[in-house]
Amino acid sequence: MVVDKRTNKTLEADTEFNIKIHDINDNEPKFSKDIYFASVPEMSDVGTSVIQVTATDADDQTYGNSAKLVYSILQGQPYFSVDSDNGTIRTALPNMDRETKENYQVVIQAKDMAGQMGGLSGTTTVSITLSDENDSPPRFANHTFRLSTLESAEVGAAIGRIKANDADVGRNAEMQYSIVDRDGQDIFTIITDQNTQEGIIRVKKVQLDYERKKTFSFKVEVTNTYLDPRFMYSPNPPFKDDAMVRVTIEDVDEPPVFSRNPYIIEVHEDTAAGSFVGVVSAKDLDADNNPVKYSIDRHTDLERLFNIDSVNGTITTLKALDREMSKWHNISVVATEISNPRQTTRVPVFIRVLDVNDNAPEFAMYYETFVCENVKSGQLIQTISAVDTDEPLVGHKFVFSMSFSNPNFTIIDNEDNTARIITRRGGFSQREMNAYLLPVVISDNDYPIQSSTSTLTVNVCACDSGGNVQSCNTEALLSAGLSTGALVAILLCVIILLMIVVLFAALRRQQRKKEPLIISKEDVRDNVVSYNDEGGGEEDTQAFDIGTLRNPEVMDANKLRRDIIPEMLFPFGRTSPIKDNADVRDFIHGRLHENDSDPTAPPYDSLATYAYEGSGSLAESLSSLESGATEGDQEYDYLSNWGPAFKKLADMYIGKDTERET
């Protein structure tokens, strides 16, 4: 505007002036980041876009070329290229392998003035990483692995590890192992350790036995878990690898092994002690095949019912078995290696006791039976049943009967293991008889048939017209309080006491009698005979057997003592007197020893007499007891040659011969 200075009046209307500033190239291009990070898959095709970088220029975009930018690559060739117009970075080489080189530093320049000389420029760095692709197959560094394990390795035990290498990383490096051979698949299995990517070989079945097979060989194959179809059919070798694994089995001293586990044996309950029950067998499967001994764990046989042969494993009974006491016996048999007692194995032996019909049936309960005085004939007074501790195969079938005909009662078998007691008459009276004993015979149907007689006590009671008991005899009630078994037991005790008293009295009476202990003239011991008749001199030989005195060796070796009756016949041989020992004391001591060791000797002192002439003399027998049986005369001249000790005897016999000749 124009204004008068003195008056400040506007002299001219406002006028607008437009002033345009012309740009000059005084600003260089700038990138938004100093460093860019990017990645591209390895093995990407040429021209694959990696990243786009952008720069800005503060100069006027519409005026001249001050803000016209051109991009170029300063570093990173020949792997990458950049679009000069928009700054897009692309791959420039095919088959870029991450395993060869993973990281690249690319420097990009942006220059204004359309890249002409004198233009300003700016740069940035792009860090490019090749991302992994599953283009590398797993490979074994060693195609033969040798492992070893003990034959005692349990199922699931790891026996070793094998490892394949994969140049890939992460998911592309995950591998899985598998056993290719059928023999190896049956015995072993392999799993992958996810942390180390190793193959762990484990025992699959308990079939490792050094004595049967000492080595196993099988093939293991490895492949990637996640496969990339682009590289599976590459011209490289197959996208998997394999290796041979050899496992050596090491020997272990193993305990014996039983042929069966467990053993189930059956034996009848009537088997006597010492009878055969069954046989167990164990064997040392080691190469040494050490001998085995057997024993029974006595903690499982506290009653000591069984015994086992330590050599052949034969089980026998030590006591008789009773099925009614125990149906099963569970014992443990231990097999031990003789050379190494620490190697033991035990096996359960279940012994089932089979039933034998050895128990008779009896009343199922104690019956308090009564009959009313006003009862009529044919009236039911009691229903009885029976029990049997045996177990027949087809079930119990009891038969009830009476041991003899009873005029008062009868029994009717219901054929269902019960029976009815029926009155045969009426008019019972407590004054006449307050109780009746009714023997009932109960038989079973098993083999052999067992039967028993049980006594049923029938008390006579006073009843009303409805059959209700009003009163019974006191003595009858008291007697009913004792069972039949108790009464029988009391009666047996009384009888046994009486028998003991009678036997004791008979023995005392026998000891008081002065009778000869030895009656038979056949016994080698002398007979003690008392008589008042005058004997017939030396020729009287009727009192005893002179032949026995002269020949003590001919006594009966099997003759038993007659002063008692032995319970068992044990043949006891008596030895003849020792011919070379003429000592009477030794002879008596020998006889004393024989009597002390005689199993049939009585439990009290007894008198024993013996006659022993010794083992003979040079003169043989001088007895004239049998001289009457000698034919012809005897010569006694030799007596004069025996010295002064026999002079008197020589004078007697030699002189007698002279008189006869005269």
Tokens representing residue 353 in the block: 């006791």
Q: Are 246 and 143 in the same domain? A: yes
pLDDT tier for residue 614 given thresholds of 50, 70 and 90: low
Q: What is the C-alpha separation between 127 and 53, in angstroms, rounded?
A: 12
pLDDT at 146: 94
Q: 64 in a domain, yes or no?
A: yes
- 3-class DSSP state of 3: strand
The set of residues, in sequence order, having a beta carbon less than 8 Å from that of 546 and lying 6+ positions away, is 625, 626
Q: Choose the weakest-confidence range: 146-150, 405-409, 521-525.
A: 521-525
Q: Choose the weakest-confidence range: 196-205, 351-360, 467-476.
A: 467-476
Q: What is the C-alpha separation between 9 and 26, in angstroms, rounded?
A: 45
Q: What is the C-alpha separation between 345 and 348, in angstroms, rounded?
A: 10
Neighbours of 587 (CB within 10 A): 18
Q: 430 in a domain, yes or no?
A: yes
- pLDDT beyond 50 at 479: no
- Report the pLDDT averaged over residues 446-460: 85
Residue 437, CA distances (Å) to 368, 453, 459 in order? 12, 12, 9
Contact (CB, 8 A) for 245 and 147: yes
Q: Are 286 and 205 in the same domain? A: no
Q: 418 in a domain, yes or no?
A: yes
pLDDT at 406: 87
For the chain, how big is the Rg over CA atoms in Å? 63
pLDDT at 279: 93
Q: What is the C-alpha separation between 433 and 476, in angstroms, rounded?
A: 10
pLDDT at 530: 55
pLDDT tier for residue 316 given thresholds of 50, 70 and 90: very high
Q: Are 118 and 34 in the same domain? A: yes
Of 270 and 283, which is predicted with more confidence? Answer: 283
The set of residues, in sequence order, having a beta carbon less than 8 Å from that of 307 and lying 6+ positions away, is 296, 315, 316, 317, 318
CA atoms within 13 A on the CB side of 127: 6
Domain C-terminal end among 225, 250, 275: 250
CA 601 to chain centre: 50
Q: Choose the weakest-confidence range: 100-104, 149-153, 506-510, 543-547.
A: 543-547
- pLDDT beyond 70 at 567: no
Q: Are 321 and 392 in the same domain? A: no
Q: Are 230 and 155 in the same domain? A: yes
pLDDT at 483: 55
Q: Are 299 and 275 in the same domain? A: yes
- Report the pLDDT averaged over residues 511-519: 54
Cβ-based burial of 332 (10 A; exposed 0-12, middle 13-18, buried ≥19) = middle
Q: Choose the weakest-confidence range: 360-364, 510-514, 618-622.
A: 618-622
Q: Are 236 and 199 in the same domain? A: yes
Q: What backbone torsions phi and psi does residue 478 show, to the nearest 5 degrees? A: -65, -45
Tokens representing residue 579 in the block: 């011919």
- pLDDT beyond 80 at 632: no
pLDDT tier for residue 542 given thresholds of 50, 70 and 90: low
- Report the pLDDT averaged over residues 484-508: 86
Domain C-terminal end among 102, 131, 160: 131
Tokens representing residue 447 in the block: 């083999």
CA atoms within 13 A on the CB side of 281: 4
- SS3 annotation, 202-230: EECCCCCCCCCCCEEEEEEEEEECCCCHH
pLDDT at 528: 52
Nearest-CA neighbor of 357 among 310, 324, 313, 333? 324
Q: Are 213 and 261 in the same domain? A: no
Contact (CB, 8 A) for 367 and 456: yes
- pLDDT beyond 90 at 151: no
- Report the pLDDT averaged over residues 451-465: 87
Residue 185, CA distances (Å) to 147, 158, 218, 323, 466 in order? 16, 15, 8, 51, 90
- pLDDT beyond 90 at 243: yes
Q: Choose the weakest-confidence range: 156-165, 248-257, 279-288, 389-398.
A: 389-398
Domain C-terminal end among 471, 496, 523: 471
Q: 660 in a domain, yes or no?
A: no
Q: 91 in a domain, yes or no?
A: yes
- pLDDT beyond 80 at 55: yes
Q: What backbone torsions phi and psi does residue 156 show, to the nearest 5 degrees? A: 90, -5
Q: What is the C-alpha separation between 421 and 426, in angstroms, rounded?
A: 14
pLDDT, mean over the chain: 80
Q: Choose the weakest-confidence range: 68-82, 164-178, 254-268, 506-520.
A: 506-520
pLDDT at 494: 93
pLDDT at 415: 85
- pLDDT beyond 80 at 207: no
pLDDT tier for residue 475 given thresholds of 50, 70 and 90: very low
pLDDT tier for residue 645 given thresholds of 50, 70 and 90: confident
Q: Which domain CATH number covers 407?
A: 2.60.40.60
- pLDDT beyond 70 at 541: no
Of 204 and 207, which is predicted with more confidence? Answer: 204
Nearest-CA neighbor of 182 among 208, 166, 204, 163? 204
Q: Which domain holds residue 336?
A: 257-354
Contact (CB, 8 A) for 292 and 335: yes
Nearest-CA neighbor of 272 among 190, 358, 198, 347? 358
- pLDDT beyond 60 at 662: no
- 3-class DSSP state of 588: helix
Q: Are 145 and 165 in the same domain? A: yes
Contact (CB, 8 A) for 73 and 82: yes
Q: What is the C-alpha separation between 577 and 585, in angstroms, rounded?
A: 12
- Report the pLDDT averaged over residues 16-40: 89
- Reduced DSSP (H G I as helix, E B as strand, rest coil) percent helix, strand, coil of the chain, to 5: 15, 30, 50
Q: Are 280 and 345 in the same domain? A: yes
- pLDDT beyond 70 at 549: no
Q: Report how many domains make up the chain.
A: 4
Q: 653 in a domain, yes or no?
A: no
pLDDT at 179: 92
Provide the β-strand partners of residue 445. none
Q: 188 in a domain, yes or no?
A: yes
Maximum average pLDDT range among 91-100, 122-131, 409-418: 122-131
- According to DSSP, residue 539 is labeled G
Q: What is the C-alpha separation between 101 and 129, in angstroms, rounded?
A: 9
pLDDT at 616: 56
- pLDDT beyond 80 at 76: yes
- pLDDT beyond 60 at 477: no
Q: 407 in a domain, yes or no?
A: yes
- pLDDT beyond 60 at 521: no
